């Protein structure tokens, strides 16, 4: 049955957990924007595009923010109870720490299960949306920004200089336009005293409505570079139209990204692993096929057995030599034998190099699939692990709020994150088995969690300042007597 005490501890945990989770998620998303800010600023992104990117990236950050939020909330919850002597009252009533933690352990188990479902079903879709959108944004051209007194070459084939802009942002003066679209240099020049910049309704075109200006064009007669004809034309009003379609954000087909391992769920990853294993087996069979004409070892079993039997039973077929096989080859055919062997080695290399390259790629894909498969489970288990660290830590330090709990939570999370990233890199490099690299952080921190739980059960003074003051005084005392 659910006790009032269970409801109390769950209510005490849920509030700080919601706050710390969203604060952590906000910090991680802002860190992402700071990382890519230089590549996104000046692209003319609309509010809708920014909101899309914000939602997608927030979703992809949930597996990282969730364990940190649980760790911080558990330290704060048990720290507040310890600071208010609620833990002392509960223990004095004969209720052990493990019994007190039980409802939260069940609650964290439920969160871990939901986290796995989220990682398996939502994260692949969010990764697909976020990474494809980020790719398009990073490769899009900056928005057209014509500044007074500077030449602008954003529009391909044109160099535009505006002397000044009026406050309305449309009226421009002292305009110079060099038309280089013909591929023969700046053979067309437009000068105008004033004009207007008028975008089309669909933003695909930009119209320069110029007034009181001159157009200069230079042409070669009959392709003779020494004979130039220059044409000058005055205009009272003239519209120069620029195509801005290249500045519009074009979305890449998401199907081009969906086969990446980050965009797969557990079922798809297992299918990918089976596909890679099948491909590696086929490559191995190809090696046998390629080498069979050159090595008896790779020939069919019947021919190989016949040759070995003949070598063993017929002593005349055995040829002995001191240093190398060329000693027993006649001088008249030695050059031909060397040439034949050299050609065979070249042919073998030409056949095996592409196969070796394919095998390397398949092995890398195999490791990536395995890493991503284990990640689905390690991130979920991290929620439980960091709770088992945070809850006894809060009971030991007996401090609530965002002071000491925040420092300790970040310290443990940094240790977990660095260890996890290191293990993943070692697994991808092939230095460790994938399962060992991906679970290395868990294996290192799980014993620490059990030690902290034991210390909390025994009312450890591990974070009590008075304990260290007493130890320091005990160490100093012999030295003070000698004085």
Span 237-248, pLDDT tens digits = 888 887 776 666
Q: What is the pLDDT of residue 1?
A: 46
Q: What is the pLDDT of residue 144?
A: 62
Q: What is the pLDDT of residue 327?
A: 66
Give the C-alpha separation, 79 to 429, whole Å.
Answer: 41
Q: What is the pLDDT of residue 110?
A: 92
The list of the chain residues with pLDDT below 50 reads 1
Contact 208, 239 (CB under 8 A): yes
Q: Mention every residue, 6+ apart, whose C-beta is less than 8 A from residue 149.
A: 161, 162, 163, 164
Report how far Cα 137 is from the mean position of its chain's Cα atoms. 16
Q: Would you give the DSSP letter of residue 327?
A: G
Q: What is the pLDDT of residue 402?
A: 66
Q: What is the pLDDT of residue 77?
A: 85
Q: What is the pLDDT of residue 226?
A: 57
Q: Which whole-number Å values give the CA distances from 330 to 326, 327, 370, in the listed order?
A: 8, 8, 56
Q: What is the pLDDT of residue 130?
A: 82
Contact 438, 374 (CB under 8 A): yes
């Amino acid at each position: 049955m659910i006790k009032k005490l269970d409801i109390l501890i769950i209510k005490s945990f849920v509030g700080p957990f919601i706050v710390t989770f969203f604060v952590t998620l906000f910090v991680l998303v802002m860190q992402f924007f700071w990382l890519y800010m230089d590549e996104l600023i000046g692209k003319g992104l609309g509010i809708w595009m920014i909101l899309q990117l914000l939602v997608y990236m927030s979703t992809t950050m949930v597996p990282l923010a969730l364990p940190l939020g649980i760790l911080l909330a558990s330290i704060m919850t048990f720290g507040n109870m310890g600071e208010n002597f609620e833990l002392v009252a509960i223990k004095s009533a004969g209720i052990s720490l493990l019994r007190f933690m039980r409802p939260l352990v069940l609650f964290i188990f439920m969160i871990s299960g939901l986290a796995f479902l989220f990682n398996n079903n939502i994260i692949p879709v969010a990764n697909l949306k976020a990474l494809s959108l980020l790719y398009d944004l990073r490769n899009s051209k900056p928005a057209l920004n014509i500044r007074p007194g500077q030449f602008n070459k954003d529009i391909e084939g044109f160099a535009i200089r505006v002397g000044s802009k009026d406050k309305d942002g449309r009226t421009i003066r002292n305009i110079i336009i060099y038309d280089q679209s013909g591929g023969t240099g700046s053979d067309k020049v437009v000068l105008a005293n004033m004009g207007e910049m008028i975008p089309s309704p669909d933003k695909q075109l930009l119209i320069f409505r110029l007034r009181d200006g001159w157009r200069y064009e230079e042409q070669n007669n009959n392709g003779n570079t020494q004979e130039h004809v220059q044409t000058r034309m005055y205009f009272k009003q003239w519209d120069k139209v620029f195509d801005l379609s290249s500045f519009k954000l074009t979305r890449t087909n998401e199907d081009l990204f969906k086969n990446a391992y980050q965009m797969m769920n557990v079922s798809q990853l297992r299918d990918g692993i089976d596909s890679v294993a099948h491909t590696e087996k086929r490559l191995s069979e190809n090696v046998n096929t390629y080498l069979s004409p050159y090595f008896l070892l790779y020939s069919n079993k019947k021919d190989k057995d016949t040759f070995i039997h003949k070598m063993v039973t017929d002593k005349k077929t055995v040829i002995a030599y001191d240093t190398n096989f060329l000693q027993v080859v006649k001088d008249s055919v030695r050059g031909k034998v060397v040439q034949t062997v050299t050609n065979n080695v070249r042919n073998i290399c030409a056949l095996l190099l592409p196969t070796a390259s394919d095998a390397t790629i398949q092995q890398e894909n195999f490791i990536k699939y395995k890493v991503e498969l284990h990640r689905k489970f390690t991130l979920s288990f991290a929620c439980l692990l960091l709770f088992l660290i945070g809850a006894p830590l809060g009971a030991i330090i007996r401090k609530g709020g965002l002071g000491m709990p925040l420092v300790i939570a970040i310290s443990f999370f940094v240790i977990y994150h660095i260890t996890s990233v290191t293990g993943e890199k070692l697994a991808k490099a092939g230095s460790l088995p994938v399962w060992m690299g991906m679970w290395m952080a868990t294996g290192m921190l799980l014993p620490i969690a059990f030690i902290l739980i034991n210390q909390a059960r025994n009312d450890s003074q591990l974070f009590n300042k008075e304990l260290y003051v007493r130890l320091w005084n005990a160490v100093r005392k012999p030295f003070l007597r000698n004085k």
